[in-house]
Structure 1
Amino acid sequence: MTTQKLMATAAALAVVTAPVSAGQAHVRTLSPTISVMSWNVCAGTNPGCFFYGRSMREVAVKVGEYATTKPIKPDAIFLQEFCSGGTAVLESLLEQKTGRAWTVRSSILTVKDGSPKACAPDRQGRPRGDTAVTVAVADHAATFQAHGLTSPPWYVKRMALCAAIPARRVNVCGTHLSAGLAYDDREPGAPFRAKQVEELLAAAAKPGYRAVFGGDLNLAPPDSKQSTAAKRRILAPVYAAYAECDQNGSRDGRWTEKHLREDGSVSKRKLDYLFVPRGSVTRCHVTQNVTASDHKPIYVKANLG
C-alpha cells in the first residue's frame, strides 16, 4: 500500500461526524436503547456467493432492505466481506431509506505483503474496492478507530473497526476473525483467533463507554457440540463478561451460516454474534430464508439505561 493511501485511510477513520440537528440529536440521546445489526454479506472474493461480481449498489440495496423491514431497526450496522468501493453508496442509500443521517466507514484488509485484498471486479470489469469490515452509525457524531488484530502472517490481516458515540456513551465495534480453514488459523487450539478475541475485547472496552460489539467470529459458542473444546473455550470469557444476542442459539438448533464442505455436504453453524452489557438484551432476531449470502443477518436490541 502506498504512503498516500495509508494516510488517506487513516484520515478517513479518524473523522468525527456531525448529528443531523441539535434537536434531533437531543431526542436520540435521551433514548436508553440501542439496536444493532450484523451481516456477513459475502460480496468480496468468493465466486460461490450471490453478490460476487455484483455492483455495490445491489449490495447496499439489500443491506438497506434488511435495515428497514425486520422487527429490529438498527442504529448501528456491522458488515463483513463488504467492498470499500460501496461505502459512500451505502451511506447515501441508508439515509434515503431510513430518513436518518448515517456515517459509514470501512477498514480494508491487507494481504501478507501489506497491499489491500482487492474485491473481485463487477461483471463489467469495474473495480469495487477492497475487502473490508464496515461499520455504519445513525444520527450521532462518532469517532472511528481501526484496530489491527494478530493474524497469520501468511494470510490477511484481520481488523476490528470501532465507532465511539459520545452522545450515547457507547463504543460499537464490528469485526471478522480468521476463518479457521486450511489457509487461515487451522492450527490446534486456534491460537490466532484466541488472540483476536482478546484484542477485540480490549478494543471494545473504551473507558467511560459501554461496549457493543460483534460480527463474524468464525468460532462456535461455548455450548456448541460442533467444535473442539479448546476452540469453544475461546469465547467463554466473552460470554462471562457480556450478554450475547442469541445466547442459546446453538443449543436450540439455530444457526447463522451455511457451509459447503469439500465433500459436498452442508453444515449449518452459529458463527455470528452480537454482544452487549449483561442484563441489557430486550430483543434478538435472526433473519430466515436468506439467499443473498451464506450468512444470516442478526440483530439485537438493548436497553443501556
Structure 2
Amino acid sequence: MKNRLHISRLLAAALIGAALPALLDAPATAVAPPPPNTSKSAGQQWELLSLATGKYVSVEASNTNELHARADNPGIPERFTLHTDTSAKGATVSLRSQANGAYVAAEFGAGADGRYGKLRARTEGPPAGWEKLELVAQPQSGADVYALRYHDGTQERYVSADAAATGDGLLQARATAVGSWERFRLVGVAAPADPPAPPSASPRTVKAMTWNVCSDNNKACGFYHTTAGPLADEITARAKAAGNPDVILLEEFCEKFAKPVELALETQLGGGWDVRFAPVQYQVPGTNVKAQKNCQSDASGADRGAYGVALAVPEENTWYRAYELPSPPGVEQRTALCATVTSWAAEVCAAHFSTGGPGYDDPDRTYQPRQADTLRQAASLPGYRPLLGGDLNAAPSTGVLGTLYSTYEECDAHSAAPNRPTTGTIKIDYLFGGGTWSGCGVAPDTGSSDHRAVWGTLALS
C-alpha cells in the first residue's frame, strides 16, 4: 500500500528517534523489522498450543527465531501457515511463520548448543527435507490434536515441547514415540467478521479487468518460472491497454508477487493500490486441515510462496477475506477472495473454479455450480454492490454458471459478438456485476499467459 506520508518527514523523524536516546544517555529502542513479503495473504493462519506446557508456540526473534511453547496469549509471533507442494498434495506439510515469513526447519545437524532437531523459523524456501513434516492425528487427546513427525534421514522423529520444570519449552524433533510432550492442538485463527455496511451507495462507474496470468500450472506459459518483475510489468501493460482499470482480478498467481505487483501498479499507473492474495489448497490426508499449495520455484530456485488468486483494489481497502470453494476430494481445493471499497459501497471478488469436464478435476461438473453459488453468496455483503469474476473454467453453454447469470449482468453477454473466447476457442473468463456493463473488451492475444485478459466498465446502480 502506498505510503502517503512525506518521506522527508519520516526520515527526519527516524534520525531524531535514533539519535535522541543516545543524547539522553538511554538505550535506543530496536526498530521493528519490516513485514515479510507474505503479509498480503488472506490464507488460513494457525496457532500451535502445546498440551504439555499449556502454552502457545512462538517464533522468538530475540532467540535466533527458535520455537518455544511458553506464550500465554497468541499474537503474530504465534501464528503460522501450512504449505505443501504438487508432489506431496498434503501428505507432507511445512510450517511458515507469520512473524518473519520463514519456513520452520528441524535442525538435525546439531548446532553449537548441541540440541538435536531444534526447530527454528529460518528458511526462505522452497521447503526441503528439514522443513517437511507429517501431521499425525491424536484423536484420543481431543479434537484437532496432532503430533508433528519429521524424518531425520534415517528414522522418524516427533516434535517435543520441553515441559520439564527447568525447561524453556523449546521445540525439538527428537522423540521416537508420541508421549505427553509430543501433542499439540492446531487452532485455526478466525476469519475477519463482516464489515459494517457502508454509509452510502451513490451511482458510480468502476473499470475492471480480469486475467489468468498462468504463473504456475502450465509449463508452456512464459510465466511458469517467472520472477515478480516481468509479471508485474506485463500486468501493468495489460492494464494500460484496458484503459487503466480501478480493480484487477488475477488468477494462477504466486503469493510473493503481491507486493511487487502493488508497487508496479503505483509506479506505472499512479494512485495507491492494495494487492491481496488467497491460496488454493490441498486437504491433508486423515485430517480436517488444509495446506496451501505452493508455486513452483522460479528459474533460480527461489521460493514464490503459495499459489492462488489475487485482487488489486484501491489502497483504502481494509477488509478482505478468503472463501474456500466446495471442491472435489483429493484434488486442488479452489478459492475465492473478496475485498471491499467502502467509498464506492462496492465489494470485489476474484475466483478460480475447478477444471470441469471429462478427464479433469470435476469431470461431471458436479462442484462447479456449488462453487458458483458460494461465490455469489460471498459477494453479497449487505450494503455493498458486487463486482466479481475470474477464471470460472466453464463455457456459458455448460449452464453451470446459471446462479451468476440469473443474479448479475455478465460483461460480454451483450456485446456485438458476445461470449468471445478467452483461452483457445472457448470463453471461461468472466466479469459479473450488480449493474450495467459497457466497453467490454477481450485482449487480442494471451501474452506470456494462456488466457486473454477481459475488461469492462460497470455502472453500479
Give the TM-score range, shorter chain: 0.7 to 0.9
Question: Given residue 295 of structure 1, which amino acid in structure 2 is its aligned partner?
Answer: H
How far the C-alpha of 1:5 sits from its partner, in A, is 2.5
- Asked if residue 185 in structure 1 is aligned to residue 362 in structure 2, the reply is yes
Structure-1 residue corresponding to 2:299: 123
TM-score by length of 2: 0.55
d(CA) in 2 for partners of 1:122 and 1:163? Answer: 28
Q: Within 5 A, what are the aligned runs for 1:96-115?
A: 96-113=267-284, 114-115=290-291
- Asked if residue 274 in structure 1 is aligned to residue 410 in structure 2, the reply is no
d(CA) in 1 for partners of 2:281 and 2:366? Answer: 20
d(CA) in 1 for partners of 2:417 and 2:457? Answer: 21
d(CA) in 2 for partners of 1:146 and 1:205? Answer: 14
As a proportion of its length, which structure holds more strand?
Answer: 2
Which region of structure 1 is more displaced relative to structure 2, 175-184 or 33-42?
Answer: 175-184
How far the C-alpha of 1:99 sits from its partner, in A, is 1.3
Closer, same or farther: CA 197–272 of 1 in aligned 2, 3 Å = same
Closer, same or farther: CA 33–112 of 1 in aligned 2, 3 Å = same
For the residue of structure 2 that corresponds to 1:214, the secondary structure is strand
TM-score by length of 1: 0.82
CA contact (8 A) 1:162 1:171 kept: yes
Question: Given residue 257 of structure 1, which amino acid in structure 2 is its aligned partner?
Answer: T
For the residue of structure 2 that corresponds to 1:125, the secondary structure is coil
- Asked if residue 244 in structure 1 is aligned to residue 410 in structure 2, the reply is yes
Question: Given residue 244 of structure 1, which amino acid in structure 2 is its aligned partner?
Answer: E
Structure-1 residue corresponding to 2:327: 151
Gaps of 5+ in 2: 1-44, 48-78, 82-96, 102-187, 194-200, 285-289
Structure-1 residue corresponding to 2:401: 235
d(CA) in 2 for partners of 1:285 and 1:152? Answer: 33
Closer, same or farther: CA 63–276 of 1 in aligned 2, 3 Å = same
- Asked if residue 215 in structure 1 is aligned to residue 390 in structure 2, the reply is yes
CA contact (8 A) 1:249 1:270 kept: no
- Structure 1 or 2, whichever has the larger Rg, is 2
Closer, same or farther: CA 168–82 of 1 in aligned 2, 3 Å = same
Which region of structure 1 is more displaced relative to structure 2, 242-251 or 98-107?
Answer: 242-251
d(CA) in 2 for partners of 1:167 and 1:159? Answer: 26
Structure-1 residue corresponding to 2:317: 141
As a proportion of its length, which structure holds more helix?
Answer: 1
Which region of structure 1 is more displaced relative to structure 2, 36-45 or 241-250?
Answer: 241-250
CA contact (8 A) 1:68 1:97 kept: no
How far the C-alpha of 1:150 sits from its partner, in A, is 0.5
CA contact (8 A) 2:415 2:440 kept: no
| Structure 1 residues 74-117: Cα deviation after superposition (integer angstroms, max 9, x where no partner) | 11111000000101101111100111100011001111222221
Q: What RMSD in Å do the two structures reach over aligned CA positions?
A: 2.7
- Asked if residue 5 in structure 1 is aligned to residue 96 in structure 2, the reply is no
| Structure 1 residues 28-58: Cα deviation after superposition (integer angstroms, max 9, x where no partner) | x977110111000000132121101111221
Which of 254, 277, 284 does residue 420 from structure 2 map onto? 254
Gaps of 5+ in 1: 16-28, 225-231, 259-267
How far the C-alpha of 1:2 sits from its partner, in A, is 5.9
| Structure 1 residues 123-161: Cα deviation after superposition (integer angstroms, max 9, x where no partner) | 111111111110110253341111111111201111110
Structure-2 residue corresponding to 1:82: 253
d(CA) in 2 for partners of 1:240 and 1:140? Answer: 31
d(CA) in 1 for partners of 2:238 and 2:453? Answer: 8
For the residue of structure 1 that corresponds to 2:221, the secondary structure is coil
d(CA) in 1 for partners of 2:291 and 2:449? Answer: 26
How far the C-alpha of 1:205 sits from its partner, in A, is 1.0
How far the C-alpha of 1:275 sits from its partner, in A, is 0.4
d(CA) in 2 for partners of 1:59 and 1:14? Answer: 30
How far the C-alpha of 1:297 sits from its partner, in A, is 0.5
d(CA) in 1 for partners of 2:204 and 2:414? Answer: 25
Question: Given residue 307 of structure 2, which amino acid in structure 1 is its aligned partner?
Answer: T
Moved runs in structure 1, 4+ residues, more than 6 A? Answer: none
d(CA) in 2 for partners of 1:48 and 1:178? Answer: 20
Closer, same or farther: CA 164–253 of 1 in aligned 2, 3 Å = closer
Closer, same or farther: CA 69–43 of 1 in aligned 2, 3 Å = same
| Structure 1 residues 186-239: Cα deviation after superposition (integer angstroms, max 9, x where no partner) | 1x2x11111101100000111111111000000111xx3xxxxxxx22222321
Closer, same or farther: CA 149–90 of 1 in aligned 2, 3 Å = same
- Asked if residue 293 in structure 1 is aligned to residue 449 in structure 2, the reply is yes
Q: Relative contact order (C-alpha < 8 Å, sep 6+): which is higher?
A: 1
